[in-house]
A and B are shown apart, each in its own frame.
Chain A
Amino acid sequence: MNKAILVLKREYLTRVKKKSFIVTTLLMPVLMAAIFIIPTYLGMSDDKKERTIAVYDESSLFLDQLKGNEYTKLVFVPREEYEQIKKKQKETAYYALLYIPANILVSNRAQLFSEKQVTFDVSNLLENRIEDIIERDKRNKVIEETGVPDLEKKLAATSTDIKLSTLKIEAEGKAKESSSVLVGVMGYIMGFLIYMFMFMYGMMVMRGVMEEKSSRVVEVIISSVKPVQLMFGKIIGIALVGLTQIALWILLGFIIVTGLGMFLGVDAGQMQQAQNLMNPDMMGNAAQLATSGSANKYQEMMEMAGTLPVFTILFSFVFYFLGGYLLYSSLLAAVGSAVDSEEDSQQLVFPVILPLILSIMLLFPIAKNPEGPLAFWTSMIPFTSPIIMLARIPYGIPWWELALSMFLLVITIIGAIWMAAKIYRTGILMYGKKVNMKEIIKWLRYRN
């Protein structure tokens, strides 16, 4: 069997079989799901508790008009009872005590007494109900005073709700609906994913190289494997570990979302509709769509996503994902081979990963102005382009910019690998020497 394949297999299998890998791979989607789902679940179950609230209405404006809801009952009490309840509310069955002062129309203030902190839902409900009643009364008074016929209907007719659709003009002159929010979020998520991957797995490559060097394993195997084979076996093996992890996350995420959705009893019909939407044959089923507001929203999202250059995005994602990883992991492998210990690595790692950190910091300013000179140049420079270019692509990029950026990245990767292989070959067998940039540049000139 080819030696490089043997190395690759070892790098892959030992990492994938590690407990820490299995735990993070399984736990991450569960944690993410928990962050989104638990608050929803708690919110849903909490509201079912029945509460009774005593109301003392000094203004006499609200009697018979202020009403609670299914779970929050209101009971109007006279002054004496109010005083009593206020003294020892704990002993009564009331959850809270609402006091509406006589001057509420002027002061805009009421008070809610309770032994325990009143839930947000309850205070929110009361506030809204009181507001509604006062507003309605005030409006009625104005309508009565002005005496214009059918004023209430006319006022209701002025109510407006505007939705701004952002449209993108295509080359053929057709306008398609797009969503600037979706585009921005998508670019950011992709940029961030690539950053995480390059950072985590690039460092993993470096630590792997350092482990082989400091444990002297390399002295035993360098006789059987060429240094370049060893380096590439490691870089590609670890890339496969990363891809395995991402594939598992996507799979697990899908299972969890589906499973928990059912468990929490999300409307099964709604799910069905969402699925139907995925199927273009069913798109025409307008009657079904109209029944659910959220299904309409979903359709809107799907249509907008359809206007994104999906193929370009997918292709560039894979390209920059692998390209960025190859660039940074080969540089970090070179760093790992040059140093003797973790402490020594710090000063050499920093200049290597600085552009990575810089590109993440630039993501926000670039999202604001994706056509500006900063965005252009940082998406050409190969050390920042994997993150920046990917964040720009959903906005639509001239093809020559994309091609140039990819070309520059490929050239730089070839250069970086050539350089890294040279440094690696010398560094991996060099011990007890403090290595600095000057020394490394000298290694690049070695013929062997």
Chain B
Amino acid sequence: MVLFSAQDVIKDYAAHRALDRVSISVEEGQVHGLLGPNGAGKTTLIRIINQITAPDQGELFFEGRPMRASDIHQIGYLPEERGLYKKMKVGEQALYFAQLKGLSKRDALKSLKVWFEKFEIQAWWNKKVEELSKGMQQKVQFIITVVHKPKLLIFDEPFSGFDPINTNLLKQEILNLRKEGATIIFSTHNMASVEEICDHISLINKSKKIVDGPIHELKEHYKNHVFEIQYKGETYDFTRLLEADFRIIEHRQAERNNVLKVQHLNGKSNNELLQKLMQQIEIISFQEIIPSMNEVFIKVVEQANQK
């Protein structure tokens, strides 16, 4: 079931069109990556979803019907820059935000306690926010975002300012939330985390959505048909064998074996290549190189910019 969708959203700022007919659709239980270079319009879209600004055209749907102002209570938003009162104590602040999101004081205290224990930050309850490091503040902000158990979570660059240990902790918590059935829109530049966390991505470039789909499909779609083969024995000269339809990218000797990287130019069948090689060498491993999200991202954006 589609939890949230935006259709043909347009947003203009003076002479600049920030979003140009952008549509996204987020399934329930999905972690939806929102990718794009700086200034592409991701934050504008997030602000529209959060009802911070209204779109000039286009429609938003929540749980299948047009989105209402009250639906905002079902959304938890973690902004890219910290949104905390610096002079206020951590505990009081978390309680205040939780109550603003509609929790009663008792429920708020109860679930805040659970979260503070989970992150092992009970000792910060009476500290002022300004006494905390950036990463520590981000933890508090994260708790504030999720404490009222919203149906839709929006994370804008959640890992910025975190050390690897805390990045991992936060990643685990996001994965836990996904396991528990939360729906997440996840905006980031960190492609490694996209691959680990997201099911589906939308890529926005220059105000337009240029790619949308499940991660594995995208990788499949943008793969280059590159294979890496390891074989035993003498180094073999492939120049004649792989003359047509193939391009040798790399051929070197590793510790005990030889490594060959080759691209299949017409990309018909993997077995065709395998058959050719089997006759000549003793293959140890044969594997197609699937591009990383990083490579897909760069490729897609470059292609779009060339058009």
Binding site for B on A (CB under 8 A): 1, 3, 6-7, 10, 14, 18, 211-212, 215-225, 429, 448
B177 contacts chain A at the CB level, 8 A cutoff: no
A221 near B97 with CB under 8 A, answer yes
List 12 contacting pairs A-B, 8 Å CB cutoff, sorted by A: A1-B99, A3-B100, A14-B85, A211-B86, A217-B85, A219-B77, A220-B97, A220-B141, A222-B52, A223-B50, A224-B100, A224-B102
The minimal Cβ–Cβ distance linking A81 to chain B, given in whole angstroms, is 74
Greatest chain B CB density within 10 A among A18, A216, A218, A448 is at A216
Other A-B pairs beyond A220-B144, A224-B73, 11, CB < 8 Å: A1-B99, A6-B100, A212-B85, A215-B82, A215-B83, A215-B86, A219-B79, A222-B50, A223-B51, A223-B52, A224-B72
With a cutoff of 8 Å between Cβ atoms, the chain A residues found around residue B82 in the complex are: 215-216
B49 to A: closest C-beta gap in Å: 10
B277 within 8 A of A: no
Pick from A215, A220, A225: contact of B77, CB below 8 A: A220
Residue among A215, A218, A225 facing the most chain B CB atoms (10 A cut-off): A215
Among A6, A7, A14, contact of B87 (Cβ-Cβ < 8 Å): A14
Is A14 touching B99 in the complex (CB atoms < 8 A)?
no
In the complex with contacts A216-B79, A216-B81, A225-B86 CB distance below 8 A = no
Is B253 in contact with chain A by the CB < 8 A criterion? no
B83 A219 Cβ-Cβ under 8 A = yes
Question: Interface digits, B183-215 against A, CB 8 Å rule (1 contact, 0 not)?
Answer: 000000000000000000000000000000000
- Contact surface of B with A, Cβ cutoff 8 Å: 47, 50-54, 72-73, 75, 77, 79, 81-88, 92, 96-97, 99-102, 141, 144
Main secondary structure of the interface of A (DSSP, over half): helix
Q: Which residues of A sit under 8 angstroms from B72, Cβ to Cβ?
A: 223-224
- Are B51 and A220 in contact, CB atoms less than 8 angstroms apart? no
Task: For the complex, give the distance between the alpha carbons of A222 and B52 in Å.
Answer: 7
- Chain A: minimal CB distance from B172 (Å): 24
Does the CB pair A6–B99 fall under 8 Å? yes
In the complex, which residue of chain B has the Cβ closest to the Cβ of A10? B96
Q: Give the 7 A-B CB pairs with smallest separation, nearest first.
A: A220-B83, A216-B83, A224-B100, A223-B72, A217-B83, A216-B81, A219-B79
CB distance from B93 to the nearest CB of A (A): 9
Q: In the complex, what residues of A have CB within 8 A of residue B52's CB?
A: 219, 222-223, 429
Instruction: Assess the B102–A217 pair: CB atoms within 8 A.
Output: no
Chain B: minimal CB distance from A448 (Å): 6
* A215 touching B97, Cβ below 8 Å: no
Taking the nearest CB of chain A, how far is it from the CB of B53, in angstroms?
7
A216 vs B82: C-alpha distance when bound (angstroms)? 7
Residues of B contacting A18 with CB < 8 Å? Answer: 87
A224 to B50, CA, bound (A): 10
Inter-subunit contact B96/A6 (CB<8 Å): yes
The one of A215, A216, A225, A429 that contacts B100, using a Cβ cutoff of 8 Å: A225
User: B54: which of A14, A224, A448 is its contact (CB, 8 Å)?
Assistant: A448
B278 to chain A, nearest CB (A): 60
A11 → chain B, closest Cβ, in Å?
Answer: 11
Residues of B within 8 A of A220 (CB): 77, 79, 83, 97, 141, 144
Could you tell me the distance between the alpha carbons of A6 and B53 in the complex, rounded to whole angstroms? 24
In the bound complex, do residue B85 and residue A224 qualify as a contact, i.e. CB atoms below 8 Å apart?
A: no
Instruction: Give Cα distance in the complex from A212 to B79, angstroms.
Output: 14
Question: Contacts of A215 on B, CB cut-off 8 Å?
Answer: 82-86
How far in angstroms is the closest Cβ of chain A from B266?
50
How close is B102's CB to chain A, nearest CB, in angstroms? 7
Q: Which B residue sits closest to A431, measured CB to CB?
A: B81
Contacts A215-B82, A215-B85 given; indicate if A223 touches B75 (C-beta within 8 A): yes
Cα(A220)–Cα(B82), bound, Å: 9
B86: A residues at CB distance < 8 A: 211, 215
A377 to B16, CA, bound (A): 48
Contacts of A3 in B (CB 8 A): 100
The chain A residue with its CB closest to the CB of B79 is A219
- Chain A residue nearest to B50 (CB atoms) is A223
By a CB distance below 8 angstroms, the chain B residues around A216 are 79, 81-83
B79 near A221 (CB under 8 angstroms)?
Answer: no
CB distance from B136 to the nearest CB of A (A): 16
Give A1 to B95 CA distance when docked, in angstroms: 13
When chains A and B are docked, how far (Å) is the Cα of A212 from the Cα of B87? 11
When distances are taken between beta carbons in the complex, the residues of chain A under 8 Å from B73 are 224
A14 / chain B contacts, CB cutoff of 8 Å: 85, 87-88, 92
Q: How far is the CA of A219 from the CA of B80 in the complex (A)?
A: 10
Q: How far is the CA of A86 from the CA of B31 in the complex (A)?
A: 102
Query: A223 to chain B: which residues have CB within 8 Å?
Result: 50-52, 72, 75, 77
Which of chain A's residues have a CB closer than 8 A to the CB of B101? 224
Residue ID in chain B nearest A222 by CB atoms: B52
Q: Report Cα–Cα, A219/B88, bound state, in Å.
A: 17
Specify which chain A residues have a CB less than 8 angstroms from the CB of B84 in the assembled complex.
215, 217
Residue numbers in B under 8 Å from A217 (CB-CB): 83-85
**Least CB distance, A158 to chain B, in whole angstroms:** 72
The CA of A10 and the CA of B95, in the complex, are separated in Å by: 11
Measured CB to CB, the closest approach of chain B to A370, in angstroms, equals 45
> Which residue on B lies nearest to A7, using beta carbons?
B100
- How distant is the Cα of A14 from the Cα of B89 in the complex, in angstroms? 9
Chain B residue with minimal CB distance to A223?
Answer: B72
Q: Which A residues touch B79, using CB under 8 A?
A: 216, 219-220
Task: List residues of chain B with CB within 8 A of the CB of A225.
Answer: 100
User: Closest chain A residue to B78 by CB distance?
Assistant: A220
Query: Which residue of chain B has the shortest Cβ distance to A3 in the bound complex?
Result: B100
For B141, what are the chain A residues with a Cβ–Cβ distance below 8 Å?
220
What is the distance, in angstroms, from B27's C-beta to the closest C-beta of chain A? 22
Bound-state CA distance A225–B102 (Å) is: 10
A212 contact set on B, CB distance < 8 A: 85
Docked Cα-Cα span, A59 to B54, in Å, equals 100
Closest chain A residue, CB of each to CB of B72: A223
In the bound complex, CA of A18 to CA of B92 (Å): 14
CB neighbours (8 Å) of B51 from chain A are 222-223
Count chain B CB atoms within 10 A of each CB in A10, A18, A212, A429 and give the residue with the most: A10
